[in-house]
């Protein structure tokens, strides 16, 4: 996977340059199966005064990522970092993967995320259906399981 942490000390231009760099690397290697963006959570960090990203900013970055990284097959919208409603909408903005079920996540929550921490397969399937999409269970190589 390729990833980008954004929304902390970088400029908009630097965010975009990182995407174009990833695009160039993918053109050369073809090694990335997915891109995941990690919005910065300022609480409990060395940068607590940075304004948190809005849902609009997160969705815009996912949409731009999908357009720029058209050579990377999948764009993830990690529901735990976005909230469920934002992750659902991200599916319409270019994401095609909500990044699965999780029993308990601690890292982003220690940094201040106030999103859910657990999701069963049935719950995640319902979230995807409610957004108007068909859920597909997959393995780490994006092979369909069921």
Domains detected in the chain:
2-130 (3.20.20.70)
Residue 81: pLDDT band by 50, 70, 90 thresholds? confident
Distance CA 69, CA 23 (A): 6
Bigger pLDDT: 8 vs 103:
8
Minimum mean pLDDT among 34-43, 52-61, 98-107, 136-145: which range? 98-107
Distance of CA 111 to the CA centre of its chain: 16
pLDDT over 80 at 129, yes or no: yes
> Which residue in 96, 92, 86 sits closest to 116, CA to CA?
86
Distance CA 111, CA 41 (A): 6
pLDDT over 80 at 108, yes or no: no
Q: What is the CA radius of gyration of the chain?
A: 15
Average pLDDT over residues 112-131: 80
pLDDT 10s digits, 17-52: 999 999 999 999 999 999 999 999 888 889 999 999
Average pLDDT over residues 108-127: 72
User: What pLDDT is attached to residue 43?
Assistant: 83
Q: Work out the number of other CB atoms within 10 angstroms of the CB of residue 142.
A: 13
User: Is-contact 6 61, C-beta < 8 A?
Assistant: yes
What strand order describes the sheet that includes 34-39?
Answer: 2-6, 34-39, 74-76
Distance CA 106, CA 26 (A): 31
Distance CA 36, CA 82 (A): 12
């Amino acid at each position: 996977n390729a990833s980008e942490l954004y929304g902390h000390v970088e400029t908009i231009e630097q965010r975009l340059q990182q995407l174009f760099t990833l695009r160039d690397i993918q053109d050369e290697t073809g090694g990335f199966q997915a891109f995941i963006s990690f919005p910065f959570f300022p609480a409990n960090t060395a940068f607590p005064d940075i304004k948190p990203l809005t849902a609009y900013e997160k969705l815009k970055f996912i949409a731009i990522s999908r357009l720029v990284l058209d050579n990377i097959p999948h764009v993830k919208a990690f529901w735990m970092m976005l909230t469920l409603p934002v992750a659902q909408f991200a599916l319409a903005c270019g994401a095609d993967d909500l990044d699965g079920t999780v029993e308990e996540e601690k890292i982003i929550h220690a940094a201040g995320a106030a999103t859910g921490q657990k999701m069963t397969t049935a719950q995640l399937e319902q979230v995807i259906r409610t957004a108007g999409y068909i859920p597909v269970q997959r393995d780490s190589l994006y092979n369909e399981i069921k």
